Chain A
């Protein structure tokens, strides 16, 4: 009976349910989904989650290594996790900074502490942070950079920018890809030829010169926000061709199918045929392509920053953070400044696994 019920459930399941069941089987994809959700959550609430504002300088903590979190105090008894106040010394000979914990000055890590004031989502002014320690102690989970700024907080802010670049960029390439790929695939004729040539030219053009030329053509003194959107636009200008090709291929394959012909005979308009009949039949493929395109955008943004033509401070993206860490001194003396790369890796891996999971799940051949 139990067996029977299960079978019934399977047979009655909607397509969505089937996809979800199949998706759940792919553990990596599940992990990816969870970590992406977590990343987006931190990106959305980063002002609140970060213990400090991204640009707050702590002069007494320049190049401070990650804070040590203790749970045993001087007497060896178990305590709520705490950090100690630090004392910085600059070696006169080597210019090197050494940090020492001041014994007895213990500051427990607290939730909902007061700290740097900020405008939450640019609207509400507050100074409550999710966690932190009271001054004069400092909580630097990932250490501090050359200006004494908290690397952890900067990572959270950087994640926000990088993730949103991925989203917006992919959205823009989606619009471009759908429109141009759609026209090319559905109407054919000379429009098809022209669009195909354009796609071929863009695909054959090496991406690095294309990026450099486009980003340099930006009027030099645009405000930060405009630069941000332009960079995103540049990334999507290079990235839309894959989607367009995919859309075109699908449309060509589908446009002679019976259900399309039937719709046409009834007298449905082209727009209706495309949006009502054709697009839904390959939405899943679009979703997969989009998921796999986002990490590409995020990586491309870091590459742009490396080349010195991407975002610039004060905008803080993961690419900007990596660019700042990109020197021998960092690797040798302040390795914690490389931590932002972990965020990049996690984001890129997660998106790839989610994309793979989705692809497996929506693949009509697999069982």
Chain B
């Protein structure tokens, strides 16, 4: 087991190095650089930037250096724990990401809880009462979130929250709490706004969980021990919840690892529409304006989360289920 973990960790290193190079190239792919975006924005509001100022700006942003030098500098600093400086926000990247990460994590945690709370009962019900009308109805409900593009759902929710619920527009806090220190009232205010993104992002993931739970539970229910238990006259509820459900949700453990990074980037589009102070909108705007160091750090962060997440879930899975542990090399 330990050898397996060490091998996996060693394999992570070349992957992350490759990702860092690819991410740098990917960010550079769009035509122009941060300066082009900057000048384009100025010209959109009617300003003209003359050649002299352009040269000065280029030097100021360090864009006059060749690509590989920019990369090496960034990567070198990265190893030292300095994530660089954002052009667009004129702030250290770590500060920018740091201040938004906590809210992102809060939303993600709530979203995971919400997703499980919805998908667990639906999954169990639709496995136990397979092909009943209620099964169909609940499945459709569970899947509708997957089928609706998040950005549109978010826009409609934004309108609904304004027109019918009277909430302040976008964001996670009412204006009076935005700058206030944490308190019970502020937390309640947060909850009042939080449910909208949680529902939008959460429903997009329920389908996947329902499918896993339903599939596993169906397998489990066909096993002889269930028949035996039933024959012994155990009550149906007790019978299902006691063992089959427990076994069926085991694989969900494996989702913990990759759900978090997926949520962090999955929330991005919703967060842009809803104007949430999370990392997503920052990532998108950094990519659009080719804010190299900010975007690069983001990609590295998300990739790292995914790599580690996958590792953790594989380890958890192997730990929970000895069958996988012994056949581990196959599933690598």
Interface residues, chain A, with chain B CB atoms under 8 Å away: 25-28, 196-197, 200-201, 203-210, 212-214, 216-217, 220, 249, 252-253, 295, 299, 302-303, 306-307, 322, 325-328, 331-332, 338, 341, 344-349, 352-353, 356, 359, 365-367
| B291 CB, nearest partner CB in chain A, Å | 12
For the complex with contacts A206-B306, A349-B140, 8 further pairs of A-B residues with Cβ separation under 8 Å are A25-B131, A28-B139, A197-B18, A205-B303, A209-B27, A213-B27, A213-B30, A302-B151
Does B72 sit at the interface, judged by CB under 8 A? no
Cβ contacts A to B, 6 pairs, < 8 Å: A28-B136, A208-B269, A210-B26, A338-B152, A345-B147, A352-B146
Q: Which of B149, B302, B307 has the most CB of A within 10 A?
A: B149
Q: Are A306's CB and B219's CB within 8 A? A: no
Asked whether B172 is an interface residue with its Cβ less than 8 Å from the other chain, the reply is no
Quick check: B295 and A209 within 8 Å, CB to CB? yes
CB B190 to nearest CB in A, in angstroms, measures 24
A204 in contact with B155 given A27-B131, A216-B30, A252-B330 (CB within 8 Å): no
Q: Chain A's nearest CB lies how many Å from the CB of B304?
A: 8
If over half of B's interface residues share one DSSP class (helix, strand or loop), that class is named, otherwise mixed; here it is helix
Cβ distance B329 to chain A, nearest Cβ, rounded Å: 10
Q: Are A349 and B29 in contact (CB under 8 A)?
A: no
- Asked if B15 lies at the interface with its beta carbon under 8 angstroms from chain A, I say yes
Contact pick for A331, options B155, B218, B261, CB 8 Å: B155
Contact check, A204 vs B307: say whether CB atoms are below 8 A apart. Answer: yes
- Of chain B, the residue at the smallest CB distance from A219 is B31
B19 at the interface (CB under 8 A from A): yes
B144 surroundings in chain A (CB, below 8 A): 345, 349
Contact A344 B159, CB 8 Å, known A197-B15, A209-B295 = no
Point out the residue from B131, B146, B306 that lies within 8 Å of A348, measured CB to CB. B146
Instruction: Please give me the residue from chain B that is nearest to A331 by CB atom.
Output: B159
Report the separation of the CA atoms of residues A217 and B30 in the bound assembly, to the nearest whole angstrom: 6
Contact across chains for A208 and B131 when beta carbons are under 8 A apart:
no
With the chains together, A25 CA to B29 CA distance in Å? 50
In the complex, residue of chain A having the shortest beta-carbon distance to the beta carbon of B303: A204
A249 with B331, Cβ < 8 A, contacts A209-B295, A328-B155 known: yes
> Which 5 pairs show the lowest CB-CB distances between chains A and B?
A213-B26, A216-B30, A348-B147, A217-B29, A345-B147
B22 in contact (CB, < 8 A): yes
CA distance A304 to B13 in the complex (A): 31
Q: A201–B18 contact, CB under 8 A?
A: yes
Residue pair B140, A28 in contact (C-beta under 8 Å):
yes
Q: How many A-B pairs with Cβ below 8 Å?
A: 139
A173 to B302, CA, bound (A): 24
Q: Is the CB of A326 within 8 A of B147?
A: no
Let me know if A214 and B29 touch, CB within 8 A: yes
Nearest to B222 among chain A residues (CB) is A365
Q: Is the CB of B26 within 8 A of A356?
A: no
Residue of A whose beta carbon sits closest to that of B147 = A348
Q: Is the CB of B148 within 8 A of A208?
A: no
State whether B19 touches A205 (Cβ < 8 A).
Answer: yes
Across-interface contacts of B261 in A (CB, < 8 A):
206
Which B residue's beta carbon lies closest to that of A217? Answer: B29
Interface of A is mostly: helix
B151 A306 Cβ-Cβ under 8 A? yes
B207 at the A/B interface (Cβ < 8 Å)? Answer: yes
Q: Mark B1-31, 1 if CB is under 8 A from A, else 0.
A: 0000000000100110011001101110111
Interface contact B152-A341, CB-CB below 8 Å: yes
Q: Which residues of A contact B136 (CB under 8 A)?
A: 27-28
Given A209-B299, A212-B287, A349-B144, decide whether A204 and B15 contact each other with a Cβ distance below 8 A: yes
Q: At the interface, yes or no: B310 with Cβ under 8 Å from chain A?
A: yes
Q: How far is the CB of A298 from chain B (nearest CB, A)?
A: 9
Per-residue contact bits, chain B 281-293, to A (CB 8 Å; 1 contact, 0 not): 0011001100000
A253 and B330 contacting across the interface, CB-CB below 8 Å: yes
Q: Check if B69 is an interface residue, CB within 8 A of chain A.
A: no
Which listed residue, A197, A201, A216, A332, touches B31 by the CB 8 Å rule?
A216
Instruction: Pick the residue among B11, B151, B299 that contacts A206 (CB under 8 A).
Output: B299
Contacts of B287 in A (CB 8 A): 208-209, 212
Residues of B within 8 A of A201 (CB): 15, 18-19, 22
Find out whether the CB atom of B152 lies under 8 angstroms from the CB atom of A209: no
A205 to B146, CA, bound (A): 22
B198 to chain A, nearest CB (A): 20
Pair B306/A204 contact, Cβ less than 8 Å: yes
Q: If A341-B149, A344-B148 touch, does A366 touch B218 (CB 8 Å cutoff)?
A: yes
Contact of A205 among B156, B158, B299 (CB under 8 A): B299
Complex CA distance for A204 and B19, rounded to whole angstroms: 8
Give the docked Cα–Cα distance between A266 and B151 (Å): 57
The answer on a CB contact under 8 Å between B139 and A365 is no
Given the known inter-chain contacts A328-B159, A338-B156, please indicate yes or no for A306 contacting B269, CB distance below 8 A: yes
CA distance A212 to B23 in the complex (A): 11
Determine whether B100 belongs to the interface, using a CB cutoff of 8 Å to chain A: no
Contacts of B25 in A (CB 8 A): 213
Q: Which of B139, B211, B215, B287 has the most CB of A within 10 A?
A: B287
Roughly how many angstroms separate A366 CA and B215 CA in the complex, as a whole number? Answer: 10
Please give, as numbers and ranges, the residues of chain A lying within 8 Å of B149 by CB-CB distance.
299, 302-303, 306, 322, 341, 344
Q: B268 an interface residue at 8 Å Cβ cutoff?
A: yes
Residue B119 at the A interface, CB < 8 A?
no
B332 within 8 A of A: yes
Contact assessment for A303 and B15 in the assembled complex, using a CB-CB cutoff below 8 Å? no
Residues of B near A210 (CB, < 8 A) are 26
What A residues does B295 contact at CB under 8 A?
A: 209
Contacts of A25 in B (CB 8 A): 131
- Distance, CA A26 to CA B136, complexed state (A): 9
A201-B18 Cα distance, complex, nearest whole Å: 8
Q: Smallest CB–CB gap between B163 and chain A, Å?
A: 8
| Cβ contact within 8 Å between B152 and A212 | no
